Amino acid sequence: MAKIIKKVVAKKAAPAKAKKQVKEVKKELEPIALQPLRGMKDILPEDQPYWEQVRRVTERLSRDYGFSRIDTPIVEFSNLFNRSIGEGTDIVEKELYSFVTKGGDKVALRPEMTAGIARAYIQHGMNVLSKPVKLFSAGTVYRYDRPQEGRYREFSQVNFDSFGEQDPILDAQMIQVAARVVQNLGIKAIQIQVNSIGCPVCRKQYKDLLVNYLESKATKLCIDCKRRMEVSPLRVLDCKEDKCSQVAVSAPQSVDHLCEECRVHFKSLLEYLDELDLPYTINPRLVRGLDYYTKTVFEIWSGSEEGRKSSLGGGGRYDGLVKMIGGEATPAIGFAFGVERIILEMKRVQAKPYRAPKPKVFLAQLGDLAKKKSLRLFSELEKNGILVAESFGRGSLKSQLRVANRLGVEMTLILGQKEALDKTVIIKNMISGEQETASAEKLIDLVKKKLKTDNVVVYHDHNHVAEPSQEQEQT
């Protein structure tokens, strides 16, 4: 009887087991899309010198101007962006990557950095620090926007933010830093566009005036702008549709309707920009696309008046943001650059990318014992700040020397079986072809001496890695 029951159970279990095997087979056969998601891309080695140049320039300027580095999470609670950026903005309505976690939290991939930095400013009690609190950040942001040249769904930004000071001198300094970033990256022809959109007090009256005007032109507006007219009328001025741009030309200008405080603030900013000899244009249609902006807004554009122009980034004042998300009233100003747009422009104007220092020494090895010894020798050279190239794994000395020639090194260190046993190394001058044998113990000092004689920079010592100077970077 027990045998019969076992057979019945086995028969019942068989179909379930077969189904599981079919599912496993299907899972194994599921094709992998060998490409990133639409609007996202790989940054390949040949583009990395441009990225490295952006990193070096922005980080150096952030230090020079007194900014401290901060990094915030890529994922934040969705309502942080809904409240700060604005429910009626395109970013929140159309472009926010939002989802619910398995734990039920409503979260979103950050579409910009300032809201998260303001959240961190409140959470970590930075309001007690001496003012202004200057913060620098860099990283990826995400917007489900239509991909196009210079605009991706995953892209990188560099952010400069300053909290706790309302003096317009901070506005001028921020614009100065933004201009320096672009120019130090080799983009010399730039335009600075500035405007003031006022504070909540004077903006209410201006909004009413603007809405009345837009309602009279409603038939000439695009569908999106008809909706914006109700929720965020200032954004109509920034629309790229031709018919909306024509309507915006004759629209009331915010600078003509500023309260006394905002008017004085904007006037002082322009005087500071004049003092800095920063050429600027007042653009009455410049409003920026986020609800938290107040008073000063600005953008940095590339290109001359006659040639091709493109916006590289911008920012402005957001004096109400910290209070809006739960902190105390805190004046603040900041700006951001899109790294991809910057790099696209660098390539267009043929700006120089970062050039890493090239090794002047090549380490060649031949034989099993020499391979083992060469790993230690390579490590010792690296610890002493000597940039060394190698081709571990290549069998013949001839093929390794070909690599050394292609790299243009000045000397090759050759370690064979005999040298490994004798604790010596052959030093071959790749220019003259002369060779000499040195003891392994004295090799480091001898190589340093030869490199110093040939004016080759040793970049670091045992304990400290030092970046080459700005002059060395450019040569």
Share of the chain above pLDDT 70, in %: 85
User: Which is more confidently placed, 57 or 147?
Assistant: 57
Strands (E), 53-180: 68-69, 75-77, 98-100, 106-109, 133-142, 154-163
Higher pLDDT, 217 or 11: 217
> Do residues 178 and 335 make contact, with C-beta atoms less than 8 angstroms apart?
yes
CA separation (Å) from 285 to 120, 127, 224, 244, 248?
Answer: 32, 34, 17, 11, 7
Rounded Cα distance, 117 and 111, in Å: 13
The residue with greater pLDDT, 21 or 234, is 234
Distance CA 223, CA 86 (A): 19
- Do 408 and 359 contact (CB within 8 A), yes or no? no
423/415 Cα distance (integer angstroms): 9
Q: Where in 251-309 does DSSP place strands (E)?
A: 280-282, 294-302
Segment 339-366, tens digit of pLDDT: 999 999 999 999 999 998 899 999 999 9
**pLDDT for res 126:** 97
pLDDT in tens, 153-171: 999 999 999 999 999 999 9
pLDDT of residue 20: 58
Whether residue 224 has pLDDT greater than 90: no
Report which DSSP code applies to 357: P
* DSSP β-ladder status, 280-282 and 190-196: parallel
Q: Band the pLDDT of 306: cuts 50, 70, 90.
A: low
Q: What does CATH list as the number for 361-474? A: 3.40.50.800
Average pLDDT in the chain: 86
Q: What is the pLDDT of residue 151?
A: 75
Contact 427, 435 (CB under 8 A): yes
State pLDDT tens for residues 251-265.
999 999 999 999 999
Per-residue pLDDT reduced to its tens digit, 453-462: 654 444 443 3
Residue of 356, 387, 359 lying closest to 460 (CA atoms): 387
The pLDDT, as a whole number, for residue 9 is: 47
Q: Report the distance separating Cα 342 and Cα 200, nearest Å.
A: 33
Domain boundaries, given as residue ranges, for the chain? 45-199+259-348, 361-474
Q: How far from the centroid of its chain's Cα atoms is residue 276's Cα? A: 27
- State the first-to-last Cα distance of the chain, in angstroms, to the nearest integer: 91
> Does the pLDDT value for residue 6 go beyond 60?
no
Out of 120-124, 164-168, 327-331, 451-455, least confident range: 451-455
Average confidence (pLDDT) over 53-62: 97
Angle between helices 223-231 and 200-216 (to 10 degrees): 140
Q: What pLDDT, in 10s, does the model give residues 166-207?
A: 999 999 999 999 999 999 999 999 999 999 999 988 988 888
* 413, pLDDT greater than 50: yes
Question: Residue 457 — φ and ψ, nearest 5°?
Answer: -80, 135
Q: Could you give the CA distance from residue 76 to residue 153 in angstroms, rounded to a whole number?
A: 17
Distance between CA atoms of 347 and 329, rounded to whole angstroms? 42
What is the distance between the alpha carbons of residues 426 and 407, in angstroms, rounded to a whole number? 19
Superfamily of domain 45-199+259-348: Bira Bifunctional Protein; Domain 2 (3.30.930.10)
CA of residue 350 relative to chain centroid, distance? 20
Residue 346 CB coordination number (10 Å) = 20
pTM attached to this predicted model: 0.82
Q: What is the edge-to-edge ordering of all strands in the sheet holding 75-77?
A: 75-77, 106-109, 98-100
* 440 vs 90 pLDDT, higher one: 440
Across the beta sheet with 424-429, the strand order is 388-390, 361-365, 411-415, 424-429, 435-439
